[in-house]
Amino acid sequence: MNLTSKQRAYLKSKAMTMEATFHVGKNSITPELTASLEDALKARELIKISVLKNCFEDPKEVAETIAQRTRSTLVQVIGRKIVLFKPDPKDTKYPLPK
């Protein structure tokens, strides 16, 4: 899913007040973490992930890998924080501006 700059700005504003739901540590991206992220995206649609300092991978690489495995859209990576979005096709909680 490609987001316009207006849609990306809208999702960033919603994510700004959120706390990180998940943390990626020294084990990096495990199958269990991927499954938990998929469940969270189904329930919440928009999630924030924190990449801990003991994770040796680059946060941007972690973000791209997670987005690919969960089939979600990468909204932003700022420092060690990642924001992902996967809308519910039936009833979205975050209707995107046109």
pLDDT in tens, 20-46: 999 999 998 999 999 999 999 999 999
Distances (CA, A) of 41 to 46, 47, 49, 53: 6, 7, 12, 24
Structural fold of domain 5-85: Translation Initiation Factor IF3 (3.30.110)
Determine what percent of the chain is predicted with pLDDT higher than 90. Answer: 84
Contact 83, 76 (CB under 8 A): yes
Per domain, the residue ranges of the chain are 5-85
Query: Does 6 have pLDDT greater than 90?
Result: yes
Q: Which candidate, 84, 81, 85, places its Cα nearest to that of 96?
A: 85
Length of the chain: 98
